[in-house]
Every structure is written in structure tokens, then in C-alpha cells.
Amino acid sequence: MSTTFQIDTATSRANPTPAPLRRLTVPAIRARKQDGVTAEPIVMLTAYTARQAQLLDAHCDVLLVGDSLGQVIYGLPSTIPVTLEMMANHAAAVVRGSYHSVVVVDMPFGSYEQSPQQAFESATYLLKASNAAAVKLEGGAAMAETVAFLNQRGIPVMGHVGLTPQAVNVLGGYMARGRSDAEAQKIVDDSRALDEAGAFAIVVEGVVETIAIAATKAVSCPTIGIGGSAQCDGQVLVTEDMLGMFERVPRFVKRYENIADVIEAAVTRYADEVRTRTFPGPDQTYQPK
């Protein structure tokens, strides 16, 4: 693991620097929920690149640099092979492309489970390398000690319960969780444990709706639903899923656009114009004076 950090704050050519904006903070996200009530739900989407962050930033409260980038960006079969270096590089790009949202970066599989000390080393690397505001890790009561350890040392932590993709091999697949009484109670108990340990928010993924509601009511910090319930304190989706970039998406995804069709149509037109020599035309070529 490299320990040399170079944070480039330059913007890309696609990003006109806006008037100075005050970025939201972790305490501001935590404070959205007061006495069990969240007046304004938290909007969260995934982002993996600077340009994507530029387009999402004004509309979101939180940008999550998810380890889902393993599948979305790198074509990996799961999130398991994702590395700290991959997460740090993409998180740095998202921070450079955003001015408003809190940027949270996933801790990848194998980077925090061994001990609180390992988690601290990994989280420190991620935050120093990217300038992100917080980390997210999966697991409930088993991770409570680690969450408290990080929180007490100045590292804000977002929790993640229910369907935890990094544990897919143990869970046996990506099916919804909480269908049995025991499993449902465990999700609520896990949420409480993370809340008590100091998590500033908790992602509740792929659970029976009544359990998502019960978990939301059981904790003082905000819950962020993904395949949970509209009664969670906020919502998150993988951006590429909600934009229709992939043919197959989880049941809980609502497609707000079919960007894949738009891209295919544009590329088809481009290929046709290249083959018929109609591109480039006069507007795209330089002529002698």
C-alpha cells in the first residue's frame, strides 16, 4: 500500500468552477434526523468519476463511491476483488468533481474485518488519498467495536446492514433479507449496535419493507434505503442502474431513463457517418485561409 498522497484539486475542462459553495458535512447529514423524524429525506447516489460527480453533485446530499465500481466500471463478477487503491483513486476523482455533497467511500472486502487497527489503517489511507469525508463498511453488531474505534479517532463511519454484497458467498446470493423472524430481528439489532457505536448513518439494503421501517424507528441516526422502504430517512441507488445503463437490474431499482439506448443510437449514427464519409464535415474540419 502506497503512503505517498497527492491530492489534485484541479477541475476538468468540463467543469466550470462554480461560485464558492459550502460543502455539506457529516454532522449536517446526521442532524437531518431529530427525535426520530427526518423532515427532508437524504438523497444519495453512487459516483465513480469526476464528470459523474459534476452532474450529480447539485442534486445530492451524499455521493457514495461504492465498491460496486468493481462490477459497474471494471466488469468484475462481484465486489470481492476491489482494492483499496481502486477505491482511493475513484474517490479522489469524485471529490475533485464535487463541491456540495458529502463524499463517502466504501471500504473494500478484506480491508477492515481483521481488527479495528486494520480498519483504522485502511480508512486513514482512503481519506488521506482522496480527501473524502467518511468511510462506509458492511456488517452489524460484529463491526460495532470497529465503528466506535474509528469514530473515536476522527473517522466518520456509515454502516450497512441487511443484504451486504461483500458477504455474498456466506449469504448464498443477492436475495432479500429479513424473511424469517430471526433474521429480521438480527437486522434491527445490527442497526441498533451500529447506531450506538456512533455510525452517522446506516444503509439498509435489500430487506423486507417492514424490517426497514423497524430498523429506521429503532435508531437515532438516519437510515438510507436501497431496496428497503420509502419510510427510510433517505434513499440510494447505483447511478448506472437508475439511468438504465444495464439490461438487468435488481428488483428494487426504478429506471428513470434508458441511457444505454441513447448511447447506442448516437454511436450508430456516428459509425454510419464515418463509413459514408459524411463525418467530419465542414463544421468539424479546418480549411485554409
Residue 250: per-residue pLDDT:
83
35 labelled binding-site residue: no
Q: How confident is the model over 153-203, as pLDDT tens digits?
A: 999 999 999 987 776 666 655 566 667 888 899 999 999 999 999 999 999
Domain that holds residue 100: 29-243
Whether 223 is covered by a domain: the verdict is yes
The one catalytic residue among 205, 240, 247, 257 = 205
In a domain, 112, yes or no: yes
205 catalytically annotated: yes
Is residue 255 assigned to a domain?
no
Domain count, the chain: 1
pLDDT class of 238 with cuts at 50, 70, 90:
very high
How confident is the model at residue 22, as a pLDDT? Answer: 79
Establish whether 106 is an annotated binding residue: yes
Q: Is the pTM of this model over 0.75?
A: yes
Residues 139-164 have a mean pLDDT of: 96
For the segment 123-145, the average pLDDT, to the nearest whole number, is 97
Q: 200 lies in a domain?
A: yes
Is 136 annotated to bind ligand?
yes
Pairing mode, strands 134-136 and 42-46: unpaired
Compute the average pLDDT of residues 265-286.
97
pLDDT the model gives residue 2: 45
Q: 281 in a domain, yes or no?
A: no
CATH number at residue 146: 3.20.20.60
